[in-house]
Structure 1
Amino acid sequence: MINVNETSSGALRRLLKATVAAGLVLAAFSGVANAASNCVKGDRKAPYTIGWANIYSVPTWMKQTEGTITAEVDELKKAGLVKDLMITDAQGNAQTQIQHIQSMIDANVDAIVVIAGSSNALDRVISDACDKGIAIVNFDSLVNTDKVTAKINTDSNEWGGEAAKWLVNQLGGKGKIIVMNGPAGISVSDDRRKGAQPVLDANKGIEIITETNTEYNVAPAQEAMTSLLFANQEIDGVLSLGGALSAGSVLAFDRQGREQVPITGENARQFLELWKEKGLKGWATMQPNWLGALSVYTAVQALEGKSVPAFIKVPLPVIDDSSIDSYLARADKFPADGYIYSDYDKALFDKLLAQ
């Protein structure tokens, strides 16, 4: 005897399973189609409103970076892709930056570009913005959370490691050095220092006699190094992990009548000019100011439905005696206290996004 109810029930269960499975597959494909990049969701259409949540605008590097952001926004406005740019300045206060990002969320901007004033304090508000469907592009100083559309940076660990290797080689693996760091708690500064440590650990002949943290500005760096010079009569090298820091160090040595020592640094115009003028033994690399422009471009690409990498690594150039003249040849295009950065264009940006 056949139980009709049991047979119908089994068939129904099989039908439901098939329907659910098909629905999941369709949902998966739908998700890919509607959200190629993380965070981006909702009915967002060009022209977009972009938020630039700046941690501080005083250092020249930041002013130049903001200049590349506004220039990129102007280009995207011409293309009909951007309507407005909202700019805030937290004046170095991470809590103020959190409030500014919250105001951007409340205004329902389409994208937020941010240099983090703290690697962890911003996590909650950044995650909230992502949940609201806002494209989040974080560059230079990075947050811990991965709830962003993209993070863009050079490799700060590599930055510190390569600088340390050069200095160790210059000193023949033996000597007393001073380490100059940027502000403590800023990820780009902390990561450069972490990257240098394995190299220093592997070369026991290198003695760190002291180290300091200062703003990325020449005046405070010069003041800090002046104090260290009074306290330390024997210094063989300076592991400087920032361009303005290096310029400040060179000026301090000069004004105290101390002999210059091998020094690392960055593409700060003043440092490169002092390097050439005084015949320094120097090495430098570059944190390109156009990371800001690339961040805006990346955010708009994501909003347009393109898939962008979760992390975009920008290669580090090397500035040494063989290449410094090519940078100085372009010096008059940049502020006296600014950074001589390399050229950039859409083709470069597309190449980096294709990683």
Structure 2
Amino acid sequence: MNLNVLENSKPHVSLLSGIAVAALLLATTSSTALAASNCIKGDRKAPYTIGWANIYSVPTWMKQTEGTITDEVAALKKEGLVKDLKITDAQGNAQTQIQQIQSMIDANVDAIIVEAGSSTALDRVISDACSKGIAVVNFDSLVDTDNLTAKINTDSNEWGQKAAQWMVDQLHGKGKIIIMNGPAGVSVSDDRRKGAQPVLDANKGLQVITETNTEYNVAPAQEAMTSLLFANPEIDGVLSLGGALSAGAVLAFDRQGRDPVPTTGENARQFLELWKQKGLKGWATMQPNWLGALSVYTAVQALQGKTVPHFVKVPLPVIDDSNIGGYLARADKFPADGYIYSDYDQALFDKLLAQ
């Protein structure tokens, strides 16, 4: 046996091994570049079909949000990136929403945008969509599972904390308040309430005399507050964790001829207008309707092989006496029972996705 031949062959074998490893790394890198975000396998091509799985469409906030989604889809269609948008409405039923999402999976849509009716019930079907290479983006009302492409939201916990702290400051740490929550079991409502609790615990002089859960509409909120006013002759503040809830509360006080009390809320047009008309002491923030449009944009970016954050945090603005006029100056551009939300564009979306 010629040992020199064996010795001379070693570099050759090493070279071949190096080439193989390099090829493997190149293939892996290429695959990663095409599938940089969770759920994405890199095998879907534009134009994409987008599914919008909504829990319910009746509240005006939802209608306005759907408007931002359809507008974003229209813009992406012009760019040749989106072909179709499929919309479902579960009418408040989480089991119906599961079935509708499953139908989207069976139809092999490219992306599913989810406004969840339950934080836990949708976990399995969302994971199933993800495993099939469907981009899943969940916004506003979030699910527990992280087996999706992205979650997009403001910090609901921070929302509750800031609202509660404002109330403490207004009442100098003493007084009787009512808390108005959105529907029980909806993550944004539950998280806002959880965020408020540490502030309330630290300020024992602030007495929560009662609290209620209602859907995010003025009429049921007004009815609920009317009942609470009859039962509670002394109320110093309303810690409302939703704009339509706040408007209903102010209207209930007004109808009973009672002076308004410090009230928190959000950017619901009716609440902001009542705030100004009644000389209310108010504080508000915003859950931007364009979270829906951002979700569509994020899904398309992911499908194109771009890396998107697993969680996109959208900063909470503050509305107070110093800037409420700016919001009301644009009120006529929004429905009377709608929300005055801030402007948005692709530059803003790119900035948020660059976090």
| TM-score, structure 2 normalization | 0.94
| Other-structure match for 1:181 | 181
Shift in Å, 1:33:
2.1
Q: Which amino acid aligns with 2:136?
A: I
Within the alignment, does 1:283 sit opposite 2:283 as a pair? yes
Q: Which amino acid aligns with 1:67?
A: G
Counterpart-to-counterpart distance in 1, 2:156 and 2:128:
27
Within the alignment, does 1:223 sit opposite 2:209 as a pair? no
| Other-structure match for 1:271 | 271
| Other-structure match for 1:111 | 111
Q: Tell me the C-alpha RMSD between the 2 structures.
A: 2.2
Q: Which amino acid aligns with 1:352?
A: L
Moved over 3 A (4+): 14-28
Q: Helix, strand or coil: the match of 1:189?
A: helix
Confirm or deny: 8 A CA contact 2:156 2:188 kept in the other structure.
yes
Counterpart-to-counterpart distance in 1, 2:139 and 2:349:
14
Alignment of 1:89-168 (within 5 A): 89-168=89-168
Counterpart-to-counterpart distance in 1, 2:258 and 2:172:
21
Q: Helix, strand or coil: the match of 1:37?
A: coil
Counterpart-to-counterpart distance in 1, 2:143 and 2:285:
23
Shift in Å, 1:15:
11
Q: Which amino acid aligns with 1:114?
A: V
In the alignment, structure 2 segments of 5+ residues that lack a partner are 1-13
Alignment of 1:181-200 (within 5 A): 181-200=181-200
Query: Aligned pairs, how many?
Result: 349
Instruction: Give CA deviations for 1:4-42 in whole Å, capped at 9, x if unaligned.
Output: xxxxxxxxxx99998997787556534422311110115
Q: Which amino acid aligns with 2:280?
A: L
| Other-structure match for 1:338 | 338
| TM-score, structure 1 normalization | 0.94
Counterpart-to-counterpart distance in 1, 2:65 and 2:41:
28
Distance change in 2, residues 1:233/1:65 (3 Å): same
Within the alignment, does 1:350 sit opposite 2:315 as a pair? no
Counterpart-to-counterpart distance in 1, 2:49 and 2:314:
26
Counterpart-to-counterpart distance in 2, 1:27 and 1:200:
55
Q: Which amino acid aligns with 2:169?
A: N
Within the alignment, does 1:208 sit opposite 2:208 as a pair? yes
Q: Which amino acid aligns with 1:107?
A: A
Counterpart-to-counterpart distance in 1, 2:213 and 2:181:
5
Counterpart-to-counterpart distance in 2, 1:190 and 1:272:
24
Percent identity among equivalent residues? 85
Q: Which amino acid aligns with 2:141?
A: S
| Other-structure match for 2:87 | 87
| Other-structure match for 2:305 | 305
Q: Which amino acid aligns with 2:231?
A: A
Instruction: Give CA deviations for 1:224-276 in whole Å, capped at 9, x if unaligned.
Output: 00111111111110000000000000000111111210000000000000000
Q: Helix, strand or coil: the match of 2:108?
A: coil
